[in-house]
Amino acid sequence: MSILEILKYPDTFLKTKAKPVSNIDEGIKRLISDMVDTMYFAKGIGLAATQVGADKRVAVLDVPVKEDYQRGENLIVIINPDIAAHEGEIKYEEGCLSVPGFTADVKRFESITVRALDKDAKEIEIKAEGLLAIAMQHEIDHLDGMLFIDRLSKLKRNIIQRKIKKAIEDEKKRL
């Protein structure tokens, strides 16, 4: 078990468009395992490889869908994901492990179909709606070098960016 460092905005690596995985070898499997451990440690429901400094199109998700949810029962690994179809629109208050302490309403597709590979290199197709669809779009955005704040109006994005900049400056003064 390895807990990886989650990169925080404004780290420029978060703008990286991740490269497709061509071979699911032991290194990729170890990355997936470490990402799952890191996601649970950070109490997240999704994590993209770019958030832990890996330039690979890999994401892990574990979205609770019922009251008596047990951690791990909904674990999904998606490698080289692509949104093949989408419908509707929904607004949802999102947060992000890479932008801690901030949330905002983000418009997303209400339902999506994602095609990807699983950890065993098998092609999978996932039809998702609700929170799972939102989380998958959020993680795929990370793999495309986008944060949820990039989907906000310029005004809202600037407010969050200023608050983050001030928090960083305050932290530097304390050190």
Enumerate the active-site residues: 139
Q: Which two tokens stand for residue 76?
A: 């999904």
User: Cα dist. 114→32, 72, 125 in Å?
Assistant: 19, 20, 6
Q: Helix (H, G, I), strand (E, B), or coil: what is residue 111?
A: strand
Instruction: Please list, in sequence order, all residues whose beta carbon lies within 8 angstroms of the beta carbon of residue 60, skipping any fewer than 6 positions away.
Output: 32, 35, 36, 39, 46, 47, 75, 76, 77, 78
Name the residue with tokens 């607004």. 91
| Burial (0-12, 13-18, 19+ Cβ within 10 Å), 52 | buried
Beta strand 75-87 with 111-117: parallel, antiparallel or unpaired?
antiparallel
